[in-house]
Amino acid sequence: MGGVKKIKKFLEFGLIWYSQQMAIPFWVVGHVHLSLNVYQDIHEIIASLGLNILVAVGFFIDYKKNIN
């Protein structure tokens, strides 16, 4: 049972690290991209949305850990 807990902690750490490293590129550079590009490809829209959701979830988990 300890191995599963370690894997969960590692995945949580990885998600938080990912969200902290990718927030600026996605939300600052992404806004420039959105203003210059018309999304016509559904795959591009889903990928962008999915990556931004990962960043948001990582921020939320980190926030919950730091308010305790």
What's the confidence (pLDDT) of residue 30? 66
What's this model's pTM, rounded to 2 decimal places? Answer: 0.65
Q: How far apart are CA 12 and CA 22, in angstroms?
A: 15
Tens digits of per-residue pLDDT, 47-62? 778 888 888 888 899 9
pLDDT tens column, 7-25: 999 999 988 888 888 877 7
pLDDT value for 19: 85
Question: What angle is formed at CA 19 by the lines to CA 21 and CA 61, rounded to 5 degrees?
Answer: 140
Q: Return the H-helix or E-strand segment holding 21.
A: helix 2-24
Q: For residue 54, what pLDDT is reported?
A: 84
CA–CA gap between residue 60 and residue 15 (Å, rounded): 10
